[in-house]
Amino acid sequence: MKVLVCIKQVPDLESRFKPNAEGLWFNETDLAWRMNEYDEYAVEQAVRLREQLGEGAELTVLSIGPDRVVEAIKKALAMGADKAVHVQDPAVAGKDPWQVASIIAAYAKGEGFDIIFTGLQSQDRGSAQVGVSVAEQLGYACSTTLVGFEYDSGTIIAKRELEGGLKGVVKLKTPALVTCQLGLNVPRYPTLPNIMKAKKKEIAQIAVADLLVEEPVAATVSFHAPARKGGGIVLEGALEDLVDRLMGILNEKTAVLR
Amino acid sequence: MKALLIGEYREGKLLDSTNELFGFAAQLGAETAMLLVGSDSALPSYGGTLYLADAAVCGEYNPDLHKQLIVEAVGRENPDCIVLMHSSYGWDLAPRVAAALKSAQVSEVTGIVADGFEVGCCNAKMRRTVKPSTAKAVITIQGGAFPAQAPGGSPQVVKVSGAAGGGLEFLGYEPAEKKGVDLTKAEVIVSAGRGVSKKDNIPLIQALATALKGELGASRPVVDAGWVEHSHQVGTTGQTVSPKLYVACGISGAIQHLAGMKKADFIVAINKDRDAPIGEVADVLVVADVLQFVPALTARIGR
Amino acid sequence: MEATREIYWNVGHGVVWPMYLFAFVAMGIAAWGFWRRLAVYRQGRALNRVDQLPRRIALMLQGMLAQGKVVRVLDPGILHALFFWGFGLLFIGTLLIMAQADFSVPVFGIVFLKGTFYQLFSLVLDVAGLVALVMLCGLLVRRFFIKPDGLETIRDDYVVHALLLAIVLTGFVTEGVRMAATELAVNPGLARFSPVGLLVARAFASLSAEELLLTHKVLWWVHFFLAVAFIAAIPFTKLRHIFTTSANYLFCDLGPKGALATINLEDETVEQFGAATIADLSWKDIFDADACTSCKRCQDRCPASATGKPLSPMKVVKQIGELARTNPAGNLIDTVSRDALWSCTTCRSCQEICPANVEHVNKIIEMRRNLTLMEGEFPGDEVRTAASNIEVNGNPFGLAYASRGDWADGLPVTLMESGEEVDILYFVGCYASFDKRNREIARSFVTICAAAGIKVGILGKEEKCCGEPVRKLGNEYLYQMMAQENIELIKAYRVKRIVTTCPHCFNTLARDYKDLGLDLPVEHYSTFVNRLIGDGSLQLSPTPEPFDFTYHDSCYLGRYMDIIDEPRQVLLAAGGRLTEMDRSGMDSFCCSAGGGRILAEEKLGGRISAERVKMAQQTGAPLLVSNCPFCLTMFEDGIKTGGCEGELKVRDLAEIVAERIRA
């Protein structure tokens, strides 16, 4: 059985973001990189499935981007993926979700994956489109926002996280694609033997030009910091002073202290 | 400009968020039609064309069929955009519609600007303006970003139906865990975020909530870490609240949380980061260390 | 009358061959006993502890004979030392008798146990025996009647006390009976030189001559067989410590204090990291269990034990020994327990006080290495998050690495990347870089350097966590990753000298980084500042009134690096008046944040930092001065949770000095 998990390397969200020279995405200087948090859950679930399936199963991890994404790929290999595919594309940040999905679908088409895992969305762009788009392009059954996953003989029982703590239970038949929500599992911390083994695992390199056929369908016109909303008061200074001023404001603007 | 709005229906009820779709359309200046897989006992207060499929037959969650119904409605209405909520229903369905229509999708729109749609990114710290280049576009809108305005009237219902596709079967709902606290009724909520640093400090926040005669709320990371029980969670996967006063302690303002509390009458944020995104929605941002400011404030209120 | 004694009087020279026969049999049994134990030690990995042999032998002899470490704790240290010296003298006395009776007389016809020498010999042995007897009684009373907290008494203890008591008592009675027959009436001048024997002799004076001879013969053989039993019993009872503990002085760690084995991560053949079973430990780790005399001094000083955590250093050592003997394939970590392992702060109180040179700390770290590197386990989710943060952003807080140097904005500090010459590289560390309270340390240090005309360089956003906390938690991989990045940069910038304000960074850069290729002078700012004051570069103007303070010796500066006096000198030069806590210097009590625990929440037992803050309060001083950002953080917390706000303030040494620089 063949399983695929798609991951994205994103900047650490604690970073301060500044628009790049073109003003269309963030400047990459001084950013720390990590695997997209949603994808960590996807990788963990994929590895657990692979462990459940045992002999004869194979888990591939795929990522698109410049050379630095190999770090994220290595982490997925250290968590337990068997092999990797790195689609080399230094300009992936400029592609829209439809194009990104098409690259993945072009790779996956001939490979016959039974189950594909992705994260629900990426932490930087957050469009939550790529996973479902890949499923549509491949004609796979698909469900999103998984906080529960069970597999048995071609059938997936998935729990979706809905609003207000409610969950929806869905049954899917493979081939299927699922997108993973935070809290689906507890991603394992790679053990050292696995980190060392990962160094020997195959990372196939594919040039994006070999896979990309789709034109962009949406353009980013501008990437900018939000305009400071007028009307919001910012209080700074010594502690007691701040308490005084806030008390004054609360008394003036609300009835909570009466 | 015409918009096909996709309403949401769950557990026998029309979701309130449906009305935000009208608000969006109004801002866009678009005429509207709506599609809803629901029931004629729960119709929106809206006078336009409503393509209604029976949820009892088509299923409340059946994305392939819902996609099919939408595509058919698009064929009949020829809208410029198809608008859904950016919800567990919407983000699941929209890309399927977009693929079927070979149209661009713009997700979680927070505003309409001259050259496109404004969306948040990088954990709400930054903004993007996106312009679809296809004839039609699928749009999902952020909960709470647009006013909920039911236009009024009774819809002209057009009954639609279809056959379910293979591959996916909805098995039912699992109810949420027992609700300890109903934050939706609270008039004052004081919420703890990651800036509170550790579980031991939660009582400090609770103390402020008590002093203000309010309830304790929490952001998702705090609940995930087990510092506070789930029923206190405010945000898209917790509760959406609209208290008179909302105090966000050590909460940075991730979109999912903001969506849950934006509608509060008065918002105070306490955060040591002057540029925290919560500052966007806060009426007052106190730049201070939560662990020092909150006890000092609690003490002052006590006097 | 002559001052001498007929050896083998009454028992006759015929006793020689059975005596030697039984003695050899006993020694053979003892040898066999040790041989069996050797097989147990051999289950551990190889480790070279016989290099620099002359030095080791000297250390062993000194340690054994001077009993220096034993008397560090006066009660019962002095009891044991005196007993040891007493019994030792008696043993030497016996050897001298053997030497004369079985060698010098038959071969050379020389008698040396005569005259003044024999008088001295008799007196010394009698006094030695008496001292030994009194001390033995003291130890007996302590163990069986006073019963100090935590002192375990087992069957062994009954056997050993009984045996020793019996030997000493039968020795004196045998002597007394002999003297009653040979000296009491006949040679009273000589009898005076065996005062105890004399007393005993008087008690037997009423016996007839035949009775005396018979009694003496019986007692002699009883005493002899007790001695033989003693020899044979050595490896099978606590008496083995005579050899094992002494040997442990020979096998001690001659490396720098706190050095850990640096795992070779390039070696692809290694599949097991850390210790999960006995076979993963070294032979010395197993041997330590036999060298340990269960004196519980380590347990008494362990801050985790003191606050109700399930960690006892002594117990860990003993558990390893027991597992090695009874179930070598068993899981070490399950036996010791994870809670116990994670509770250790690596403060080194245990190792510092241990009179048997047992090495407690590294065993714990080896087991932690197994948990972290082989199982991916952490003491808590918050630690896992911190480790992830270190991996992504080079600091445990998860703050953007690009802001690491922001604390220095506007201060006279040079960024190394500018290429300008600097006098020192100030390795700031994560806490002083990012934590609000600890940034004061960094700023104060810069102020001090500016006043002394020292040009300070920092790595700024290029600096990464030194890796120490995660290393002590067992994550050797993440530690080496961080270390390599730091070392590459430091080398690339051709740094000549490093100064740091954090004892953990200090230990790591000065000692641990040597294994990874960095060999530069690294100093902690307390000795650095002390020198600046000493050579006049830094001039302080103390306030007119001395400020009262108490001083906390951090574990990693005090016990690890022996830096006790210099920080005090600095504070006195700044005009301080010091009231020491009871637990100070090498006996200082940990703040709880060592061993990587700064990253973890303290969930078990009482708060160690609160205990220490109480100790500071008890001195009556309004100010507690520390020299480590972890200690500062823990004490600020401890003061708040302990409710001493307003009564006690904690500040770092750098802050005190910076405020008192002569303008």
A 222-251 residues inside an 8 A Cβ radius of B: 222-226, 229, 231-236, 239-240, 242-243, 246-247, 249-250
Locate the chain C residue with the closest alpha carbon to A28: C402
A-B contacts (CB, under 8 Å): 253
Decide if A232 and B167 are in contact by the 8 Å CB cutoff.
Answer: no
CB-CB: which of A14, A33, A189 is closest to C399?
A14
* Those residues with Cβ within 8 angstroms of residue C654's Cβ, 6 or more apart along the chain or in another chain: C440, C441, C444, C445, C448, C501, C525, C529
**Structure confidence by residue, pLDDT tens digits, C350-369:** 999 999 999 999 999 999 99
CA distance A4 to C203: 96
Instruction: Residue A173: list chain B partners with CB under 8 A.
Output: 166-168
Query: How near does any CA of chain A get to the CA of B234, in Å?
Result: 9
CB atoms within 10 A of CB B210: 16
Single-letter amino acid, residue B279: G
Q: Which residues of C touch B225 (CB under 8 A)?
A: 381-382
The verdict on residue C271 lying in a domain is no
At B240 the pLDDT is: 80
CB contact under 8 A, C382 and B200: no
Decide whether B2-159 matches B183-302 in CATH topology: yes
Say if residue C235 is in the same domain as residue C323. Answer: no
**In this structure, are C503 and C578 located in the same domain?**
no
Q: In this complex, is the C-beta atom of A48 within 8 Å of any C-beta atom belonging to chain C?
A: no
B296, A246 contact by CB (below 8 A): no
Residue C185 pLDDT level (bands cut at 50, 70, 90): confident
The answer on C129 and C173 residing in a single domain is: yes
Give this complex's ipTM: 0.91
Put simply, whether A13 touches B (Cβ < 8 Å) is yes
Say which CATH number the domain at C371 has.
1.10.1060.10
Q: What is the pLDDT of residue A104?
A: 97
- Count other Cβ atoms within 10 Å, centred on residue B273: 17
Task: Reply yes or no on whether the pLDDT at B73 is more than 70.
Answer: yes
Does the CB of A193 have a partner CB in chain C at under 8 Å? yes
Calculate how close chain A gets to C404, using CA atoms only, in Å: 11
Tokens standing for residue C440: 């004061």
**Structural domain span for residue C358:** 278-375
Contact C512, C500 (CB under 8 A): no
List chain A pLDDT tens, one digit each, 258 residues.
Answer: 999 999 999 999 888 899 999 999 999 999 999 999 999 999 999 999 999 999 999 999 999 999 999 999 999 999 999 999 999 999 999 999 999 999 999 999 989 999 999 999 999 999 999 999 999 999 999 999 999 999 999 999 999 999 878 999 999 999 999 999 999 999 999 999 999 999 999 999 999 999 998 999 999 999 999 876 656 888 998 888 999 999 999 888 887 777
**Chains with at least 3 CB pairs less than 8 angstroms from chain B:** A, C
Q: Determine the pLDDT at residue C565.
A: 97
Q: What is the pLDDT of residue C47?
A: 96
Whether residue B172 lies within 8 A of chain A, CB to CB, comes out as yes
pLDDT band at B258 (very low <50, low <70, confident <90, very high): confident
> Residue C332 is which amino acid?
L
Does B106 contact A at CB distance below 8 Å?
yes
Interface of C with A (CB under 8 A): 265, 268, 271, 273, 373-378, 384, 387-388, 392-394, 398-403, 461, 476-477
Asked if C7 contacts C118 with a C-beta cutoff of 8 angstroms, the reply is: no
Give pLDDT tens digits for C267-292: 888 889 999 999 999 999 999 999 99
Does residue C17 fall inside a structural domain? no
H-assigned helices in B78-156:
90-101
Q: What's the rounded Cα separation, in Å, for the pair A51 and A47?
A: 6
Backbone phi and psi for residue C517, each to the nearest 5 degrees, phi listed first: 105, 10
- A11 vs B194, which has greater pLDDT? A11
Secondary structure of residue B10 in the 3-state scheme: strand
Domain membership flag for residue C67? yes
* Average predicted confidence (pLDDT) for chain C: 94
CA gap B127, A223 in Å, rounded: 6
For the purposes of burial, counting CB atoms within 10 Å of the CB of B18, is it exposed (0-12), middle (13-18) or buried (19 or more)? buried
Residue-wise burial string across C347-369, b where 16 or more C-beta atoms lie within 10 A, e elsewhere = bbbbbbbbbbbbbbbbbbbbbbb
The distance of C406 to chain B (nearest Cα, Å) reads: 14
Q: Go through C102-132 and write b for each residue having 16 or more CB atoms within 10 A of its CB, e for each that does not.
A: bebeeeeeeeebeeeebbebbeebbebbbbb
Last residue of a domain, one of C523, C546, C570: C523
Determine the Cα–Cα distance for residues C598 and C617; give it in Å rounded to an integer.
23
| pLDDT tens per residue across span C224-265 | 999 999 999 999 999 999 999 999 999 999 999 999 999 999
Same domain, C542 and C509: no
Closest-CA distance, B49 to chain A, in angstroms, reads 28
Q: Both tokens of residue A63?
A: 């990522």
Choose which CATH entry (2.40.30.20, 3.40.50.300, 3.40.800.10, 3.40.50.620) describes domain B2-159: 3.40.50.620
Q: Looking at the complex, does the CB of residue A34 fall below 8 Å from at least one CB of chain C?
A: yes
Burial B27-49, CB ≥16 within 10 A → b, else e: ebebebbbbbbbbeeebbebebb
C378: pLDDT strictly greater than 90: yes
Residue C381 confidence (pLDDT) above 90: no
Mean pLDDT of C650-659: 96
What's the gap in Å between the CA of A188 and the closest CA on chain C?
Answer: 7
In a domain, C635, yes or no: yes
Q: Is A128 left (phi over 0), alpha (psi -120 to 50) or beta?
A: left
| C601 contacts B200? CB cut-off 8 A | yes
Picking from B200, B225, B289, the nearest residue to C381 by CB comes out as B225
pLDDT tier, B199 (very low <50, low <70, confident <90, very high otherwise): confident
Last residue of a domain, one of C478, C494, C523: C523
Q: Evaluate if residue B261 carries a pLDDT over 90.
A: no
The residue ranges of every structural domain in chain A are 2-210
The distance of A6 to chain C (nearest Cα, Å) reads 20
Residue C318 CA neighbour count, 13 Å, CB half: 14
**Cβ <8 Å between A32 and C268:** no
Q: Which residues of C touch A185 (CB under 8 A)?
A: none
Q: How far is A83 from chain C (nearest CA, A)?
A: 19
- Contact between chains at B123 and A13 (C-beta distance less than 8 A): yes
* Binary contact (C436, B225; C-beta < 8 A): no
Note the pLDDT of residue B280.
Answer: 80
C-alpha angle C422-C425-C430 in degrees, rounded to nearest 5:
145
C438 and C418 together in one domain: yes
- Average predicted confidence (pLDDT) for chain B: 91
Residue C6 pLDDT greater than 70, yes or no: yes
CB proximity A195 to C under 8 Å: yes
Name the CATH code of domain B183-302 (choices 3.30.70.60, 3.40.50.1220, 3.40.50.2300, 3.40.50.300).
Answer: 3.40.50.1220
The residue in chain C having the minimum alpha-carbon distance to the alpha carbon of residue B289 is C436
- Write down the pLDDT at residue A255: 79
pTM: 0.91
pLDDT of residue C1: 64
C188-193 average pLDDT score: 88
CA dist., res. C216 & res. C222, Å (int): 10
Which tokens belong to B132? 């679809």
Contact between B23 and B148 under an 8 Å Cβ cutoff? The reply is yes
Q: Closest by alpha carbon to A154, among A184, A174, A179, A176?
A: A174
Contact residues on chain A for C374, CB-CB shorter than 8 A: 191-193
Judge whether residue C18 has pLDDT over 70.
Answer: yes
Strands B49-54 and B126-132, sheet pairing: unpaired
Q: Which residues of A touch B233 (CB under 8 A)?
A: 165
Tokens of B301: 């209120």
C537: domain CATH number is 3.40.50
Provide the pLDDT for residue C82. 96
Interface of A with B in 138-157 (CB under 8 A): 140-145, 157
Query: Which CATH number is associated with domain A2-210?
Result: 3.40.50.620
Q: Are residues C364 and C450 in the same domain?
A: no
CB atoms inside a 10 Å sphere around CB C520: 16
Write the pLDDT tens digit of every residue in C607-640. Answer: 999 999 999 999 999 999 999 999 999 999 888 7
| C-contacting chains (≥3 CB pairs under 8 Å) | A, B
Q: Are residues C426 and C336 part of one domain?
A: no
pLDDT score recorded for residue A231: 64
Domain boundaries, chain B: 2-159, 183-302
Please state the separation of Cα B175 from the chain's center in Å.
Answer: 19
What pLDDT is attached to residue C643?
Answer: 76
Q: How many CB atoms neighbour CB C5 within 10 A?
A: 21
Nearest-angstrom CA–CA distance, C651 and C440: 9
The count of structural domains within chain C is: 4
Q: What does R_g of chain B's alpha carbons equal in angstroms?
A: 21
The answer to whether residues C140 and C241 belong to one domain is yes
Residue B67 has pLDDT above 70, yes or no: yes
| Strand B156-159 relative to strand B49-54, pairing | parallel
Nearest to C377 by CA among C333, C315, C335: C333
pLDDT at C38: 96
What is the H or E stretch that residue A105 is in?
A: helix A97-109
Give yes or no for A15 touching C (CB within 8 A): yes
How far apart (Å, rounded) are the C-alpha atoms in residues B109 and C498? Answer: 52
**Cβ distance C49 to C286 under 8 Å?**
no
